[in-house]
Amino acid sequence: MGNAIKLACLECGTANRFPEDAATRGPKCGTCGAKLLDGKVRAITMAELQKAIRTDDLPLVVDFWAPWCGPCRAMAPQFEMAAKKLAGQVRFAKLNTEDHPKATQRFRIQGIPALIRFKGGKEAARLAGARPAGDIVKFAGAKARA
């Protein structure tokens, strides 16, 4: 199979493994059929985030946000554009800190929006404040597969 990529399904939580060259062909979860790398931002829970951090071989960029936060809402379309641009290379998700208040403590979030890039089971980088899509793409580190 050559090099394989492992990803947790952000819909059902199943760990999936597929050939690296299939990443751009839209791999699907073997359990629920959800697309794993479709360039869309997924709303996730703390449990789903923790599973993805432990499982994913690709970088995962998470937007910690809240519905009452104007800059968070303003950045959402920029975050979605970055996700589309890096489809197949980096996964993007958002976690509502109002629905999951323990996330702010667990990940030491001091202000929102806050972006954290996870890689290799741990936090690799963070970026505070609303940013344009170009900055988010650079931050996501599309070449960080290694």
d(Cα 2, Cα 21) in Å, to the nearest integer? 9
| Domain-located, residue 11 | no
Q: Can you say whether the dihedral through the CA atoms of 28, 7, 41, 51 is positive or negative?
A: positive
Helices (H) and strands (E) in the chain, counts: 4, 7
Given 9, 29, 32, 72, the catalytic residue: 72
Pairing of strands 91-96, 41-43: parallel
Q: Is residue 73 part of a domain?
A: yes
Res 2: pLDDT: 59
9 is catalytic: no
State residue 145's pLDDT score.
42
Give the pLDDT of residue 32.
92
Examine residue 1 and state whether it is found in any structural domain, yes or no: no
Report how many domains make up the chain: 1
24 is a domain residue: no
Is residue 4 a part of any domain in this protein? no
How do the pLDDT tens digits run along the chain, 146 residues long? Answer: 458 889 999 888 899 998 888 877 888 999 999 888 888 999 999 999 999 999 999 999 999 999 999 999 999 999 999 999 998 889 999 999 999 999 999 999 999 999 999 998 999 999 999 999 999 999 998 554 43
Query: In which domain, by residue range, is 123 found?
Result: 39-140
**pTM of the predicted model, to two decimals?**
0.90
- Cα–Cα distance list, 120 to 6, 19, 58 (Å): 11, 18, 8
CATH number, domain containing residue 131: 3.40.30.10
**Catalytic-role residue among 9, 29, 32, 69:** 69
Q: Is residue 46 part of a domain?
A: yes
Give domain status of residue 133, yes or no.
yes
